[in-house]
Structure 1
Amino acid sequence: MYCPKCQSTQIIKYGHTHYGKPRFRCQDCGRQFVENASRQPIDQPTRQLIDKLLLERLALAAIARVTGVSERWLQMYVNQKYQKTPKAVEVAQKKPGQLTIQLDEMWSFVGSKENKQWIWLAIDADTREIVGVFIGDRSRQSAKGLWKSLPAVYRQCAICYTDFWEAYEQVLPSKRHRAVGKETGKTSLIERFNNTLRQRVGRLVRKTLSFSKKLSNHIGAIWYFVHHYNASLRS
């Protein structure tokens, strides 16, 4: 018998699986396995397809049906991916000068609609890049979290257009803050991105069965799409 990972023959018995099959362990690399496994390791093309499907408005159960993987394996894969997703914006380098951003917040929930999670977003009006993200409640503290998530050049130079939510007035520099109504069109880009986000991330649809049950996965899914969106602007 050979280890499927390192091909070592230093194999020992290691109990049984919950299905009753004998389990073995490689003494060289620590890999645990069963002989003649009915399920083979998920190959790289399938993983790449899953990565793309996670950017579409699909439930995990639907992705499992399309790709043929088990829902249990898929959930573990998604947990690891969202945990490793960077929680900071990646934008093209900007020179100090006249910058304009639009800020807005959108409602979402985790587990039940009583557990509200507001997604605070900022978009560069010229490049259309998402330059700030924060997920929390709708308080002044969360507005401050959005402000801190902006790259330094935006905090130093940018003119900020928002709606009339009072938390912005308490956090943004008064000389560069412009509170405007929707009729002005000064917040149309961020409102359009909010719609894009709801259309592409199934867990953000208002009436959905694909909602998040873990806050960490909720946050990870949003950041995963934001990174993809910004990267698509540069390609």
Structure 2
Amino acid sequence: MSHQCPRCHNTKIIKNGFGFARGQQRFKCKHCNYQFTTDKIERGKPMWMKLETVILYCSGMSMNSIAKLLNVSAQTILNWIRALALENYEKPEPCEAVVVELDELWHFIEFKKNKLWIWKAYDRNTNRLIDRELGNRDSETLKKLLIRLLKWDVTVYCTDDWKPYQELLSQHPDADHVITKSETIAIERNNSDNRHWFAPFHRKTKVVSKSKEMVDLTMGLFAKFRENGTINSLINQRLTLLS
């Protein structure tokens, strides 16, 4: 018999009756006693639809809107986006970064009183978002980001005049600190793109973030498919599956 067990891959299998629901021939492995059919039912939605979900999310649509469009639950949309974001979590490996712009982006979880600040590091030479830290708008949160940035061998930090920058970057004698808005244009543009491409970050919106985890994963998607890379990679995968 040419079939093999899908669990242990042993070829010593025997026929074991027929499935009740669909009448398929069942088999049983004599080695591990696993029972199976060769006519497997593909469960769940197709992969192209899951990619479509992330493409729409990365193009400014809310999860509820995507759920209505694809006729699935909002929780399902959340699960698909979370799964793909975890697979493509974007934080580049440290290397040399001559000029790094720092800035903080205001956000909130569920209610505007529940503030969340996203501290971002942007490498001007490579035009990449290289790291981020979520937390309060204080020195403790910034400190976590700067500790990781030590691995990048930064030559110049460019920031605005927010006090925590001055306090902590004065402790980094190996890097110069330039304090002026005119040298943070790139990261300000990055913040604008962030708010444009993802519904939870829109200035005036009914779409809200409900967990810190999803904010971080959304930032990962933003870095991977909008800032450091391109959404065309997702679109091409979807077209390949549909062809």
TM-score range for the pair, normalised by the shorter chain length: 0.7 to 0.9
Aligned to 2:44: 41
Q: Counterparts of 1:37-116 in structure 2 under 5 Å?
A: 41-83=44-86, 85-86=88-89, 89-90=91-92, 94=95, 96=96, 99-116=98-115
SS of residue paired to 2:104: strand
Cα drift, residue 219 of structure 1: 1.5
1:231 aligns with 2:233: no
**Which AA in structure 2 matches 1:65?**
K
Superposition deviation, residue 138 in structure 1? 0.7
Partner of 2:203: 206
Contact 1:82 1:217 in 2 (8 A): no
Give the gaps of 5 or more residues in structure 2.
1-18, 29-33, 234-243
Report the Cα distance in structure 2 between the residues aligned to 1:7 and 1:116, rounded to whole angstroms: 58
Distance 2:196 2:61 in 1: 10
1:133 partnered with 2:136: no
Correspondence for 1:171: 168
Structure 1 residue 149 displacement after superposition: 3.7
Query: Aligned residues: percent identity?
Result: 22
Corresponding position of 1:32 = none
**2: CA distance, partners of 1:112 / 1:102:** 29
The answer to whether structure 1 residue 187 and structure 2 residue 184 are counterparts is yes
Question: For the structure 1 residues 59 and 151, does the alpha-carbon distance in structure 2 shift closer, same or farther, using more than 3 Å as the test?
Answer: farther
Measured against aligned partners, the alpha-carbon deviations of 1:146-193 in whole angstroms (never above 9, x if no partner) come to 2134371x2x232101111111122221452424232xx211000111
Judged with a 3 Å threshold, the aligned counterparts in structure 2 of structure 1 residues 47 and 170 are, in CA distance, closer, same or farther, namely same
What TM-score results when the alignment is normalised by the length of structure 1?
A: 0.73
Q: Give, in whole Å, the separation in 1 of the partners of 2:27 and 2:76.
A: 28
C-alpha distance in 2 between matches for 1:129 and 1:175: 22
Aligned mate of 1:196, from 183, 193, 199:
193
| Structure-2 change in CA distance of 1:193 and 1:64 (3 Å) | same
Aligned partner of 1:114: which letter? K
Residues 47-72 of structure 1 deviation map (CA, whole Å, 9 limit, x = unaligned)? 11112112121111111122232323
Cα offsets for 1:187-235 (capped at 9, x unmatched): 10001110010101111112221111112112211122112221239x9
Q: 1:215 aligns with which of 212, 215, 220?
A: 212
Contact 1:109 1:117 in 2 (8 A): yes
d(CA) in 2 for partners of 1:3 and 1:120? Answer: 55
Matches within 5 A, 1:151-162: 152=151, 154=152, 156-162=153-159
Contact 1:83–1:216, Cα closer than 8 Å, also in 2: no
Distance 1:159 1:7 in 2: 69
Question: Which is higher, the Rg of structure 1 or of structure 2?
Answer: 2
Report the Cα distance in structure 1 between the residues aligned to 2:126 and 2:142, rounded to whole angstroms.
22
Q: Which runs of 5+ in 1 are unaligned?
A: 11-26, 30-34
Aligned residues: 200
SS in 1 for 2:114: strand
Distance 1:199 1:3, change over 3 A: farther
Shift of the 3–203 alpha-carbon distance from structure 1 to 2, 3 Å rule, reads farther
1:139 partner amino acid: D
Secondary structure (helix, strand or coil) at the match of 1:112 reads coil
TM-align CA RMSD: 3.1
Q: Secondary structure at the match of 2:91?
A: coil
